[in-house]
Structure 1
């Protein structure tokens, strides 16, 4: 049994509205919300969100000086019940999460979030 379900794929970027519009034109869908720091694109196959990062440095393929910058949001029913389960899998809790989120690193150090909405 899974702990949660994939809720969102999130791209770091300098301009969330512009990148959401690029992907809307590329794959279709509807821009659901935007607050200048976070923009969400809903498609028939799922969500993609874009978050503003100050001093953004784009990834450089295939080099690793600026690695790919993307993370998963995993929707769970209850943060308090899900946390020990992801920690048991080998995740590490990271500091600095906004309200309603908990941020972790997977065993290889990639960040992901647990969310409830």
Structure 2
């Protein structure tokens, strides 16, 4: 082993606001809260998701060959049809080109980062 996952850090224009979206989506709590850097995790410890202020933030684009996404998050849910209206109510957007295939759907968070709701096979 070379290393161990410590954190996923997401660039954004407003760390507190985007952290609020992911707090609800992933059922995490704020462990650290500053205007330029917010950390979410669990009381039990382990890996965290952090949000870092970028003043000249430009969102990634989904499925655009000359402007690759580079990374996205998969969120496991028991039922896509139940989870979809919940993430839309939080401020997510169903991305163009998402044909709602069985097993996953592609969304953008409130500042444009793509993520998928997935129902992996058992």
TM-score (ref. length: structure 1) = 0.52
Aligned pairs for 1:35-74 (under 5 A) are 35-43=34-42, 46-68=47-69
2:37 matches 1:21: no
Higher relative strand content: 1
Provide the alpha-carbon RMSD of the alignment: 2.0
- 1:12 and 1:69 in contact (8 A); partners too: no
Q: How many residues were matched structurally?
A: 69
What is the CA–CA distance in structure 2 between the aligned matches of 1:18 and 1:57, rounded to whole Å? 16
For residue 64 of structure 1, report the CA deviation from its aligned partner: 4.6
Number of the residue aligned with 2:96? none
Number of the residue aligned with 2:33? 34
TM-score (ref. length: structure 2) = 0.50
Number of the residue aligned with 1:94? none
For residue 4 of structure 1, report the CA deviation from its aligned partner: 1.6
Number of the residue aligned with 2:9? 10
Post-superposition, which runs of at least 4 consecutive aligned residues in structure 1 deviate over 4 A?
none
What is the CA–CA distance in structure 2 between the aligned matches of 1:15 and 1:65, rounded to whole Å? 26
What is the CA–CA distance in structure 2 between the aligned matches of 1:18 and 1:65, rounded to whole Å? 29
- 2:8 and 2:48 in contact (8 A); partners too: yes
Structure 2: stretches of 5+ with no match in the other structure: 72-122
